């Protein structure tokens, strides 16, 4: 895809402009040759300041490899993969790319079970994973310490300034500012660009990514212009060839628009009560405003389909009967009615998606366009074009 990307670390000759301590509105992007160099590209030695969001079930090795090979950083969505399956996934990634990649974990528990355990962390340490990112609750301090001691960079996705301060206190090397537009599990009430600026105003030197509503070159350029060192992209990459998502789900993202997502707590016998931004399909419309009044047992149908939780891993292919309001995302192996299912998505991102493309092409096109926009950065200062509808 990206013929000029040799994956080597950018030259040390990067301009000092992005190390400035001037106000947060000042662009920290440094453009060299045909690429964008930021704190992220220098720290990780990658070509583009682009990271694919860790997305459970969807961001499996093919997507991670495609993004890393294109010059970004692919992030495996590990939740809720048992540790032995995680090891198999990591080995698949290592066989597919020699470039930096990461693993994302959700720190939470439900029905008496922790989604992420010390065994997961030890697996990442043993496999020398370059970046581990966490989402939702704060991970135990000893995990962070052990990962950092092993040379792994630790990032935390945060929904607020308070959470950002806390993450820095426990030693995060990088932050992902998750704005309220972001698809998927999301506790943020702050628009993406505002959160980026607010965090940048006190965390001048920290590696900061912007997440939520970034799905084309313009939105990527704007996030960099407002102080991010890179973009963290979810919904756009679900609509990629390599994403492990059901074709009907991908198509709905192409057809969806800015006003077509909602935040709900509807889904999740597997993770009750968690706020998630999803595409507004039939079941979301039907229960809007009544999410806390679902009777026990829930109304029929008892089952909305079947899926395979850990495809491609020995022992992971057993069919999983999906209960009503199942939180699991439809993948190519899922059978059933997608209008009953949980389809994480950002409206702001869907408004910018025009088709299902190879992930590498998405990375390169977004970044090259961002580069062009940043060479003539008109209209990037204001939030006016930021679509707050999600």
Ligand X SMILES: Cc1cc2nc3c(=O)[nH]c(=O)nc-3n(C[C@H](O)[C@H](O)[C@H](O)COP(=O)(O)O)c2cc1C
Q: Which positions touch ligand X (CB under 6 A)?
A: 53-56, 58, 77, 79, 104, 106, 135, 157, 178, 181-185, 211-214, 233-236, 238, 329, 344-346, 349
Which residues have C-beta within 8 Å of that of residue 193, sequence separation ≥ 6? 179, 210, 222, 223, 226, 383, 386
CB of 249 to ligand X, least distance (A): 8
**Rg of the chain over all Cα atoms, to the nearest angstrom:** 20
Among residues 177, 174, 245, 261, which one has the least CA distance to residue 211? 177
**Structure-block tokens of residue 186:** 């999301």
The nearer residue to ligand X, 30 or 57, going by C-beta atoms, is 57
Q: How far is CA 99 from the centre of its chain?
A: 18
Residue of minimal Cβ distance to ligand X: 234
CB of 342 to ligand X, least distance (A): 9
Q: Is 69 exposed, middle or buried (0-12, 13-18, 19+ CB in 10 A)?
A: buried
CB of 230 to ligand X, least distance (A): 13
Which residues have C-beta within 8 Å of that of residue 182, sequence separation ≥ 6? 188, 192, 211, 212, 213, 234, 277, 346
Alpha-carbon gap, residue 327 to 140, rounded angstroms: 25
CB of 213 to ligand X, least distance (A): 5
For 38-138, strand residue ranges (E) read: 50-52, 74-77, 101-107, 109-110, 113-114, 131-136
CB of 379 to ligand X, least distance (A): 20
CB of 219 to ligand X, least distance (A): 9
CB of 183 to ligand X, least distance (A): 3
Which neighbouring-strand residues pair with 105?
A: 134
CB of 260 to ligand X, least distance (A): 13
Alpha-carbon gap, residue 138 to 364, rounded angstroms: 33
According to DSSP, the β-strands at 207-211 and 230-233 are parallel
H or E segment and range at residue 381: none
Residue 187's CB: how many other CB atoms inside 10 A? 17
Q: Which long-range contacts (CB under 8 A, 24 or more apart) does 373-382 make?
A: 373/217, 373/218, 373/221, 373/222, 374/27, 374/29, 374/31, 374/36, 374/221, 374/224, 374/225, 375/31, 377/27, 377/221, 377/225, 380/221, 380/222, 380/225, 380/226, 381/25, 381/225
CB of 210 to ligand X, least distance (A): 9
């Amino acid at each position: 895809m990206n013929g000029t990307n040799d994956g080597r670390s950018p030259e040390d000759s990067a301009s000092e402009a992005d190390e400035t301590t001037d106000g947060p509105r000042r662009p920290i992007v440094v453009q060299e040759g045909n690429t964008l160099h930021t704190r992220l590209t220098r720290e990780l030695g990658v070509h583009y300041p682009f990271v694919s969001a860790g997305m459970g079930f969807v961001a499996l090795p093919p997507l991670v490899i495609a993004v890393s090979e294109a010059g970004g950083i692919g992030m495996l969505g590990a939740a809720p993969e048992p540790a032995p399956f995680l090891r198999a996934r990591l080995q698949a990634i290592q066989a597919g790319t020699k470039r930096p990649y990461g693993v994302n974990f959700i720190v939470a528990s439900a029905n008496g079970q922790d989604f992420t355990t010390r065994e997961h962390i030890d697996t990442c340490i043993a496999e020398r994973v370059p970046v581990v990112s966490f989402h939702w609750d704060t991970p135990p301090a000893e995990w962070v310490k052990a990962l950092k001691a092993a040379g792994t960079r630790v990032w935390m996705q945060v929904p607020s300034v308070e959470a950002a301060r806390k993450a820095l206190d426990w030693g995060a090397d990088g932050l992902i500012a998750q704005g309220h537009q972001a698809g998927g599990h999301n506790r943020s009430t702050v628009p993406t660009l505002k959160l980026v600026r607010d965090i940048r105003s006190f965390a001048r030197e920290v590696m900061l990514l912007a997440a939520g509503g970034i799905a084309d070159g313009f939105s990527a350029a704007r996030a960099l212009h407002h102080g991010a060192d890179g973009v963290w992209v979810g919904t756009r990459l679900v609509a990629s060839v390599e994403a492990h998502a059901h074709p009907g789900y991908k198509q709905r993202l192409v057809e969806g628009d800015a006003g077509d997502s909602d935040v709900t707590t509807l889904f999740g016998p597997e993770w009750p009560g968690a706020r998630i931004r999803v595409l507004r399909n039939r079941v979301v419309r039907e229960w809007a405003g009544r999410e806390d009044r679902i009777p026990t047992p829930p109304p029929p149908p008892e089952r909305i389909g079947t899926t395979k939780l850990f495809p491609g891993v020995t022992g992971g292919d057993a069919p999983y009967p999906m209960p009503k309001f199942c939180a699991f995302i439809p993948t190519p192996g899922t059978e059933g009615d997608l209008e009953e299912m949980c389809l994480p998505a950002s409206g702001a991102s869907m408004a910018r998606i025009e088709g299902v493309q190879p992930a590498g092409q998405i990375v390169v096109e977004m970044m090259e366009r961002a580069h062009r926009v940043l060479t003539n950065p008109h209209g990037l200062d204001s939030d006016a074009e930021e679509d707050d509808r999600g």
